[in-house]
Structure 1
Amino acid sequence: MGANFQSKPISWISILCSIILLLTYFTTPSLSASTKYDLNPYDILLRNNLPKGLLPVGAITQHFDGNTGKCTFKLNHSCTYKIDGNYLKFESTVSAIISSNSISNVEGVKLKIVSQWVSITKVNRIQDQLKFAAGNVARQSLVHNFNVSPSRCADV
């Protein structure tokens, strides 16, 4: 009453195809564990305890290295908006290093101080405050003022 199983030899073509599929799976970035490039800029900010309103609506991730935090975001166009009494100007390309509660090496974002535009170099979150460093000047704002990305960013 036992089942009669006959073993069939595995062809070398089957083995070769299996090896190729495995190699392809583990060497192709989009199929391996590398999903970090699929994150949108707002997810990257939120995962680092930073509000998404630090970028205007419509930003896309051009590059993100999850190991170093280096990132480059693209906007449809350069634009300016006012938030919490401060004017921020964004170039069409913004780059920085993002880590938990911090953005450093910022390029492409300026803060208007009196009548001059000064490059923002760093943003730190300290509890419910955001501290912006621009030249020799530091400005602070409440985090909740940046919970929503500005949808009305005027062309520069």
Structure 2
Amino acid sequence: MSLNAKPISILIFFLFFTVSNQKPTAYDAVKRYNLPVGILPKGVVDYELNPKTGDFKVYFNDTCKFSIQSYQLKYKSTISGVISPSHVKNLKGVSVKVLFFWVNIAEVSLDGDELDFSVGIASASFPASDFVESPQCGCGFDCNGLVFSS
């Protein structure tokens, strides 16, 4: 009987190790830092996160552009920054079009029910509830069943 128990215990250990080592999605990681998943558009293919420092990189297949309300946003194929509870700083790779110029979004923070986006000297606030879902590249939240890759 001990011969059969050994392979079963090895199988249970292997299954536990495999399941417990699965990396959460980038969207799950964002939620763990008390930020809404909608700050990341759909289409994340991978990410890196150092839980000690908060340094992160998020990867997409391509540049992602879309509009939300009256703003045009652009995510490069790799974005990076430092994440901490309710806050992202040193953000690189995300920009917003202001008039005729693309301006980098440097920080994102959750302040109560408001999500603040800072471009350095200026910022804009939106209800955090607007970011419960992730926007789609190409069409944002107004896709009407259309699917775009960038």
TM-score by length of 1: 0.72
**C-alpha contact (below 8 Å) 2:114/2:126 kept by paired residues:** yes
* Structure 1: 5+ residue stretches without partners: 1-30
**What is the CA–CA distance in structure 1 between the aligned matches of 2:149 and 2:118, rounded to whole Å?**
24
**What is the CA–CA distance in structure 2 between the aligned matches of 1:121 and 1:39, rounded to whole Å?**
25
**What is the CA–CA distance in structure 2 between the aligned matches of 1:54 and 1:75, rounded to whole Å?**
14
**Alignment match, 2:96:** 111
TM-aligned CA deviation for residue 105 of structure 1: 0.7
TM-aligned CA deviation for residue 155 of structure 1: 5.9
**Alignment match, 1:9:** none
TM-aligned CA deviation for residue 150 of structure 1: 1.1
**What is the CA–CA distance in structure 2 between the aligned matches of 1:120 and 1:48, rounded to whole Å?**
19
**What is the CA–CA distance in structure 2 between the aligned matches of 1:119 and 1:81, rounded to whole Å?**
15
**What is the CA–CA distance in structure 1 between the aligned matches of 2:137 and 2:48, rounded to whole Å?**
25
5 Å matches for 1:9-28?
A: none
**Alignment match, 2:66:** 81
Distance 1:84 1:142, change over 3 A: farther
Structure 2 counterpart of 1:110, one-letter code: S
**C-alpha contact (below 8 Å) 1:84/1:141 kept by paired residues:** no
* Structure 2: 5+ residue stretches without partners: 1-16, 139-147
Distance 1:112 1:91, change over 3 A: same
Other structure's SS at 1:46 match: helix
Instruction: Report which of the two structures shows the higher radius of gyration computed on alpha carbons.
Output: 1
**Alignment match, 1:42:** 27
**What is the CA–CA distance in structure 1 between the aligned matches of 2:136 and 2:85, rounded to whole Å?**
25
Matched residues, percent identical?
31
Other structure's SS at 1:43 match: helix
